[in-house]
Amino acid sequence: MPVELKNKIYNGVKVCRPGFFKASPHSQSCSKCPPHSYTHEEASTSCVCEKDYFRRESDPPTMACTRPPSAPRNAISNVNETSVFLEWIPPADAGGRKDVSYYIACKKCHSHAGVCDECGGHVRYLPRQIGLKNTSVMMVDLLAHTNYTFEIEAVNGVSDLSPGARQYVSVNVTTNQAAPSPVTNVKKGKIAKNSISLSWQEPDRPNGIILEYEIKYFEKDQETSYTIIKSKETSVTAEGLKPASVYVFQIRARTAAGYGVFSRRFEFETIPVSVAASSDQNQIPIIAVSVTVGVILLAVVFGFLLSGSCCEWGCGRASPLCAVAHPGLMWRCGYSKAKQDPEEEKMHFHNGHIKLPGVRTYIDPHTYEDPNQAVHEFAKEIEASCITIERVIGAGEFGEVCSGRLKLPGKRELPVAIKTLKVGYTEKQRRDFLGEASIMGQFDHPNIIHLEGVVTKSKPVMIVTEYMENGSLDTFLKKNDGQFTVIQLVGMLRGIAAGMKYLSDMGYVHRDLAARNILINSNLVCKVSDFGLSRVLEDDPEAAYTTRGGKIPIRWTAPEAIAFRKFTSASDAWSYGIVMWEVVSYGERPYWEMTNQDVIKAVEEGYRLPSPMDCPAALYQLMLDCWQKDRNSRPKFDEIVNMLDKLIRNPSSLKTLVNASSRVSNLLAEHVSLGSGAYRSVGEWLEAIKMGRYTEIFMENGYSSMDAVAQVTLEDLRRLGVTLVGHQKKIMNSLQEMKVQLVNGMVPL
C-alpha cells in the first residue's frame, strides 16, 4: 500500500513513522492512527486521543477515539398522581459509540427558594435508574404536590473518562395529589373474647393530611360478610366478636385525595370463653351482654336483608327509618335504586344477598325525604365569610359560576369555583341545585371534581368546589389544537377513565359523560364533573327530547339508552368512547353537523365515527370497542384504565396510526360521489370553508370536480403542498362531513 511504503525499515523491521502505529512488534505492518487520535513519535505502539476524545481500556487500539454523547433531546413528561413518565429522543451525537445508555438524576425542589435536594431512596424507577437502554422511564412513589427536576443524562463507555460537564436535558414537573400509601404496621392491643383492640402507624407516605382510617374486618373465611368501622385515631377496638374465632383486619387511610389501598391482612384471634371466664368475675353479665349483642346483630342483619330484598323487588325508596335505626350501616341500607337501573342493582344485590363491594355505594339523594338532610349528610356547611368571590367565569343552569378563594379556619387558603343559585329560585330549583352537592360530596377520587362544601344558611346559596385552572376540557382542547403529545392526550383519557371506574364501582351511572363535562387543571389532570340530578333532563344544551319523552345528549349516548332508557355503566362506556374521539380530535363535534335523527339512524345502521386524524390505531380500536352494539361486549372501566396504562408504559405502541386512507371507511361508503352534493364546484366548496387559496392547486392537479375531490386523502393533500395541520384538518373534516350527509340522505341526491 502506498502509505505503508513510506514507513522506514531498519534491520529488516518496519518502524512506523509519526501518524502510524504498530500495536505489536511482531506485526508486519503499521496502521494509520484511527480517527480522533495521533502520534508525533516514530515507532509508536499506540496513538494518543485528541483533546476531548477518549479510549476505554477495553477499546482496541485500532478503534477510533470517542467522546461522551451530547444531551438527549425533546424530553416530555406525563404526570399521573405521584408517578412521572419521561420520554425523550436519543442525542444528536452518540460520540462515535454504540453503547449509549441513560441515567436519570432526580431532584426535589422547593418552589420559592429554587433550592433542590437529591430525591433519596424512596423513588422507584421502572425499569431502572442507571443504564437505561430505552428512551423512556417511569418514576413511581414520588411525593404528592412536590416539584421535581429530572435530569436525563446520556452516557457511553467513555463518559466517566471525560472531565467535561455532564450532558443532560432536564424536565421540571409537579406531582399531583395522591392517595396515602398502605398502612404497614398493625399491632394487636387488648384481646378479649368479644373484642380485639388494634393500633397502627401512619402510612409511610400519607401524601396529605389523614382525615380518617377505615378498618375492615371479618371472620376468617367469611369474607362475604364484613364490617367497616371508621376512626380518626390510629387505634380502634372491634367489638361484638365471637369468642375463640380468628378475625381478619385490613386498614386503609383517607386524605383529601381519596382512600389509599388496604393494608395486607392481619389476623388476630379472640380468646375462648373458658379462658375469659377464669379471668373474669363478671361472666354472667357478659354473657347476657353478648346475647343481647347477638340479638341486636341478628336484628340488624335481618333488617339489612329485608331492605336489600325490598330494593331488589323494586320498591321505590328505602325506608328513611332504616337510616335512623342503624345509622352505622346507613351507607348500605339507605341505598335506594329509585332512579337506577335493575341491572345495575345486581352489582350490589346478588341472589338475594348483598354483595358488599370494596368501595362505598352511591346513595341516591332522592332516598331522603328531606333533601336538606341529604346535603348535610354529604356536604360540609361553609360560612359565607370564608369565601371571597373574585370573578364570574361562566353561567350555569341555576346561576353564575365564579372563581374565588376559600379560607377555612386553621387551613391554608384554596382557589375555588363557586356555583351560585340565582335569587328568586323555587324550592324545586334549590333542591335540584343542592342535589349536585349531595352527589358530589359522596365521591372522593383524584379524577372526580372535589366538593369543598356548601353555603345553605345564608344567601346566595352556593356550591364550592376545587378550582380547575383550564376549565372545561372541550373548550380547552379547541383552544390548544394540536399542542399536545399523544402521551399527554392518553394521560388525560386515563384520568377520565380512572374517575369513571371509581363512579361505576360506586354504582353511579353518569349519563352525560362528554368532554364539556370534564374539567382540566393546570397539571392537565382531568376530573369528571357535572352531577346534577336533573342535568340530563334540563341542563345540558346538547340534550334533546326523544320520542319517549326523555331529554338525552344523543351524540354521546349509547343506542339502548336512547331507545329504551337503558342507562348503565356500559352506556357510560359508550359515551367514554365518544369522549376519546373528542379528545384525540381536539374538541371536534362528534358527527359534525349531522342532525340528531341522522346520528341515531347512522349508528343504528352500524356506522361509527371514523378515526380522528393522526390517531394511534390502539386508541381507535378502544373507541370502536366502546361502541359495540352489544353493551356487554364493551370494555369495563377497569379494563379501559389497564389498557391505557399499558399504552402509557409502552409508548411505541402508540406510534402505529390509523391509516389515513382508511379513516373514512368506517362511517361511510369510501368512494361516495360528492358531485350531487351541496357545492357546485371545487372553488365554491373551498371558499365556503375559507380554504379558497388552494383552489388553483386543486384544479391544476386534477381535482377539478367534487367527484374527484371525494377521493382526496391526507397524503394527497400533503403532496399538493397543504402542509399546515389546521388546513389539512379543515379540508379532510369538511369532506368527511359532506360524505356523512350524503350517506344519510341529508343532501338530496
Which H/E stretch holds residue 311? helix 283-312
CB of 577 to ligand ACK, least distance (A): 22
Residue 655 beta carbon to ligand ACK: minimum distance, rounded to whole angstroms:
32
For ligand ACK, the binding residue among 465, 557, 571, 666 (CB under 6 A) is 465
Is there binding between residue 152 and ligand ACK (CB under 6 A)?
no
Stretch that binds ligand ACK, among 34-42, 87-95, 427-435, 460-468 (CB under 6 A): 460-468
Residue 433 makes contact with ligand ACK by CB under 6 A: no
Least Å distance between CB 168 and ligand ACK? 36
Closer to ligand ACK by CB, 323 or 418: give it. 418
Residue 301 backbone dihedrals phi, psi, to 5 degrees = -65, -40
Of 210 and 417, which has the nearer Cβ to ligand ACK?
417
Contact between 467 and ligand ACK per CB under 6 A: yes
- At 108, is the secondary structure helix, strand, or coil? strand
- Residue 737, C-alpha cell as written in the block: 362531513
Q: Closer CB to ligand ACK, residue 449 or residue 486?
A: 449
Give 246's strand partners.
269
Residue 476 C-beta: closest distance to ligand ACK, Å: 7
Choice between 19 and 471, CB closer to ligand ACK: 471
In the chain, the N- to C-terminal Cα span, in Å, equals: 80
Q: Which set of grid coordinates corresponds to residue 592?
A: 359534525
Pick 253 or 449: Cβ nearer ligand ACK: 449
What's the closest the beta carbon of residue 472 comes to ligand ACK, in angstroms? Answer: 3
| Residue where the block lists cell 500495536 | 23
CB of 493 to ligand ACK, least distance (A): 19
Residue 417 interacts with ligand ACK (CB under 6 A): yes or no: yes
Categorise residue 334: left if φ over 0, alpha if ψ from -120 to 50, beta otherwise: alpha
Q: What is the DSSP string of 616-685?
A: BHHHHHHHHHHT-SSGGGSPPHHHHHHHHHHHHH-GGGG-PBPPGGGTTTTTS-TT---TTSS-SSHHHH
Q: Is 489 within 8 Å of 45 (Cβ atoms)? A: no
Active site residues: 512
CB 539 to ligand ACK: min, Å = 10
Is residue 147 classed as helix, strand or coil in its secondary structure?
Answer: strand
Query: Which region, judged by CB under 6 A, interacts with ligand ACK, from 243-251, 406-414, 463-471, 695-703?
Result: 463-471
Which candidate, 649, 623, 644, places its Cα nearest to that of 634? 623
Q: Return the number of the residue (104 or 406) whose C-beta is nearest ligand ACK.
A: 406
CA 68 to chain centroid, in Å, comes to 38
Angle between helices 569-584 and 637-649 (to 10 degrees): 30
551-580 binders of ligand ACK (CB under 6 A): none
Cβ at position 401, least distance to ligand ACK in Å: 4
Closest to 157 (Cα-Cα) out of 70, 49, 56: 56
**x/- track of binding to ligand ACK for residues 369-408 (CB under 6 A):** ------------------------xx-x----x-------
Backbone angles phi, psi at 95, to 5 degrees: 80, 10
Size of the site for ligand ACK (CB under 6 A): 13
Residue with cell 403542498: 721
Select from 465, 532, 527 the least CA-distant residue to 498. Answer: 527
Question: Interface with ligand ACK by CB under 6 A: which range of 194-202, 439-447, 465-473, 698-706?
Answer: 465-473
Q: Name the 3-class secondary structure at 137.
A: strand
Q: Which of 314, 348, 535 is nearest to 439 (CA)?
A: 535
Q: Is 418 among the residues that bind ligand ACK (CB under 6 A)? A: no
The least distance separating ligand ACK from the CB of residue 390, rounded to whole angstroms, comes to 12
Residue closer to ligand ACK by CB (options 295, 395) is 395
Which residues lie below 8 Å from residue 497, measured CB to CB, with a gap of 6+?
576, 637, 640, 641, 644
Those residues with Cβ within 8 angstroms of residue 345's Cβ, 6 or more apart along the chain or in another chain? 311, 312, 337
By beta-carbon proximity to ligand ACK, the closer residue of 401 and 544 is 401
- Other C-beta atoms within 10 Å of 303: how many? 17
Nearest distance, CB of residue 367 and ligand ACK, angstroms = 26
Q: Which residue is nearest to ligand ACK (CB)?
A: 394
Alpha helices in 402-468 (DSSP H): 427-440
Which of these segments, 9-17, 219-227, 383-391, 464-472, binds ligand ACK (CB under 6 A)? 464-472
Of 109 and 401, the one with the shorter C-beta distance to ligand ACK is 401
Q: Judged by CB, which is closer to ligand ACK: 341, or 539?
A: 539
Q: Which among 24-32, 372-380, 469-477, 531-539 is the span making contact with ligand ACK, rule CB under 6 A?
A: 469-477
d(CA 94, CA 202): 48
The interface with ligand ACK within residues 472-531 (CB under 6 A) comprises 472, 475, 519
Size (the chain), residues: 749
What secondary structure does DSSP assign to 361-378, as a single string?
Answer: ----GGG-SSHHHHHHHH
List residues near ligand ACK by CB under 6 A.
Answer: 393-394, 396, 401, 417, 449, 465, 467-468, 471-472, 475, 519
